[in-house]
Amino acid sequence: MYISINNELWRIISVDKDNTIKIIRNETNDEFYWNEYSPNWENGDLKNHLNNEYINEITTNTDKIIDKEFKIGSALNNNDDLIEQIKEEDSKIWTGKIGLPTASEYLRANSNAS
């Protein structure tokens, strides 16, 4: 299912237990990168850009963007066990308005089985 926010197309990737939804923008933005100096989300350039600059560019439905817990534990390389992957992702939490989907959220929302 898709929704439009700020004249951009977003796809719903999950509905949480509290009925809040997580969405992912339908188009990528190759202008921004993770961070060349910090391997973690808390100190990353992308986190700072999304939660300070990008969020201020959103002009519609801003009251719908709330602080939310994001799972930021590591993605395991060569892991085909989704349950173990989810446990690792759950091992670290960050709270903010805009984050990235976990590997398992992305896989569950992806219609391409391969």
Q: What residues does each domain of the chain span?
A: 2-109
* Cα 111 → chain centroid: 17
**pLDDT, tens digit (0-9, with 9 covering 90-100), for 9-58:** 888 888 888 898 888 887 777 676 666 666 677 777 888 888 988 888 88
Q: What is the number of other CB atoms lying within 10 angstroms of the CB of residue 110?
A: 12
Global pTM value: 0.74
**Rounded mean pLDDT, 64-93:** 83
- Kindly report the CA angle at 41 between 39 and 46, in degrees rounded to 5? 100
* Cα 12 → chain centroid: 11
